[in-house]
Amino acid sequence: MTDRKLRGAELRRIIVGISGASGVLMGYELLRALRAQPNVETHLVVSSGARRNFALETGLTMEQVYALADHVYDEQDMAAPIASGSYQTDGMIVMPCSMKTLSAIAVGYSSNLLVRAADVCLKENRPTVLVVRETPFSKVHLRNMQLAAEAGCTILPPMLTFYNGADTLQKQVEHIIGKTLLQFRLASDRFVPWGGPGETEGADR
């Protein structure tokens, strides 16, 4: 446990998967938000496609991404602790979730650690949030989302928001991260919830 953890607080382990969809910056920002939670320990798996997208879409190095996680695993390490249901975690977030990863999770095709970790969370009835990233959705994508939802996943596409003053890309990303953290009963100080007409806190930030 690192110094940033609260003494006496119950440690929460959250698995973060970053797959090869466009929008890997969201995964990076999610790690930043989780690192700000003093009682959360993160377990990170980054796919080869995601690593490629970090190079294509951002100026970040993988060292910068990995530095935000408490534990980092290779996607082929099927002996990692998170590959077993006996290793206690509080669930998993895949952000972004590619259609390839969605399809594998939907049918339990655990060909790598990212999908296996999601499979474990589902069989152990732990929250599993998929931030699916594609547009438009084909019928195949929609069927796979339905299958994943029936298996226990929460499907949380990164939809645009307009009611809370999210007038920059950064604010839009923070909104999605805030919505995701709510699935784990965690609060982000950069999330602006709806508070009614004229009452949305921080809408002009």
Residue 28 lies in a domain: yes
Number of domains the chain is built from: 1
- 105: containing domain: 12-182
Residue 173 lies in a domain: yes
Cross-sheet strand order for the sheet of 128-132: 71-73, 40-46, 12-18, 92-97, 128-132, 154-155
83-140: pLDDT as tens digits: 999 999 999 999 999 999 999 999 999 999 999 999 999 999 999 999 999 999 999 9
Q: Take residue 120 and report the two structure tokens written for it.
A: 């474990």
Residue 120 lies in a domain: yes
pTM for the whole structure: 0.92
Residue 6 lies in a domain: no
Residue 45 lies in a domain: yes
